């Protein structure tokens, strides 16, 4: 069998950076398909989300449960995944569920100010931005950083991890589908109930300082419950299911695929 050659592409992110990503033709063709759907005003947000998280996405793992697709660590670490998440955000801007100016308003620190707070050289801060370990956007050609991301960052990952930065959550249930979350710090910022043809969903930002965060997803008709234990991390990720999601700086520390064990793990969870 002839080996497939990796090809590279470039994508302009909403934060102003240009991301170079790679992939075999199957991956690049899928990214292009998502790009066209994100630009097509006739394609609703949910349809794009289902495409990204569906069986046709070659970045997802379809071997865990027949007929299901899941994101793995390799999925989140692939640069093409960042492109897909950016295209999803562009669709949200298009349909009005994401206010980019408001989202970018929190990026108030210059590279020099961040370097001073971290006790690092400015070049090291830029390297952390490039590695997507520090949240930043470009404004007038210069990087601007989120103070909360800077506060949580630990140079070289030395020393104990601080509590997590706020997570952006959309949870709730629709007919036959559930996305439940648990944490100890149950305060909710910017709480909003989203109502549309899909039903009602709760959207909020968690407080900072969380150490563990539990998620239970599932479809009642096929008993496909899954449990995810999230812990703070440097990289921005998304855990999404049927239009629900958790977005922010986290890693999946534990995952339970057995439906009964998943529900038991969620019931036993005590946040910290």
Interval 201-232: pLDDT, tens: 788 888 778 888 999 998 877 678 899 999 88
Whether 73 contacts 33, CB under 8 Å: no
Please report, rounded to a whole number, the percentage of residues in the chain having pLDDT higher than 70.
85
Show the domains of the chain with their CATH numbers. Answer: 7-95 (no CATH), 106-157 (1.10.10), 163-268 (no CATH)
Tell me the C-alpha distance between 160 and 137, whole Å. Answer: 27
Our measurement of the distance from residue 177's CA atom to the centroid of its chain's CA atoms, rounded to an integer in Å, reads 20
**Residue pLDDT, tens place only, 129-143:** 877 778 888 888 889
Whether 80 contacts 21, CB under 8 Å: yes
Residue 151 has pLDDT above 60, yes or no: yes
Q: Does the CA dihedral 77-232-185-180 come out positive or negative?
A: positive
The confidence score (pLDDT) of residue 1 equals: 39
| The pTM of the whole model exceeds 0.95 | no
The confidence score (pLDDT) of residue 188 equals: 58
Residue 121 has pLDDT above 90, yes or no: no
Residue 26 has pLDDT above 80, yes or no: yes
Stretch 167-171: mean pLDDT: 86
The confidence score (pLDDT) of residue 2 equals: 46
Whether 9 contacts 22, CB under 8 Å: yes
Residue 190 has pLDDT above 70, yes or no: no
State how far the alpha carbon of 62 is from the alpha carbons of 44, 199, 263, in Å.
25, 28, 22
Mean pLDDT across the chain, nearest whole number? 82
The confidence score (pLDDT) of residue 156 equals: 44
Tell me the C-alpha distance between 90 and 116, whole Å. Answer: 33
As a whole number of Å, the CA-based R_g of the chain is 19
Q: Does the CA dihedral 99-105-106-107 come out positive or negative?
A: positive
DSSP state for residue 130 in the 8-state scheme: H
Tell me the C-alpha distance between 37 and 67, whole Å. Answer: 23
3-state secondary structure (DSSP) of residue 184: coil
């Amino acid at each position: 069998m002839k080996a497939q050659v990796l090809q590279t592409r470039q994508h302009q992110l909403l934060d102003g950076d240009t991301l170079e990503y790679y992939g075999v033709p199957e991956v690049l063709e899928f990214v292009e398909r998502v790009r066209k759907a994100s630009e097509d005003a006739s394609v609703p947000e949910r349809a794009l989300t289902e495409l990204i998280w569906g069986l046709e996405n070659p970045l997802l793992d379809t071997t865990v449960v027949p007929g299901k697709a899941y994101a793995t660590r390799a999925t989140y670490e692939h640069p093409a995944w960042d492109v897909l998440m950016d295209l999803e955000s562009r669709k949200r801007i298009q349909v009005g569920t994401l206010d980019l100016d408001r989202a970018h308003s929190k990026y108030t620190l210059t590279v020099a100010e961040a370097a001073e707070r971290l006790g690092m050289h400015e070049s090291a801060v830029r390297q952390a931005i490039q590695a997507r370990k520090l949240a930043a956007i470009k404004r007038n050609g210069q990087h601007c950083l989120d103070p909360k991301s800077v506060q949580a960052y630990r140079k070289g990952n030395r020393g104990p991890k601080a509590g997590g930065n706020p997570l952006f959550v959309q949870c709730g249930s629709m007919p036959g589908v559930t996305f439940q979350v648990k944490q100890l710090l149950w305060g909710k910022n910017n709480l909003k109930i989203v109502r549309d043809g899909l039903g009602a969903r709760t959207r909020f930002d968690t407080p900072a300082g969380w150490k563990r965060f539990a998620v239970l997803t599932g479809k009642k008709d096929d008993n496909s419950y899954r449990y995810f234990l999230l812990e703070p991390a440097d990289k921005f990720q998304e855990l999404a299911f049927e239009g629900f999601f958790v977005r922010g700086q986290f890693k999946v520390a534990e995952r339970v695929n057995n439906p009964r064990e998943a529900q038991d793990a969620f019931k036993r969870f005590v946040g910290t």
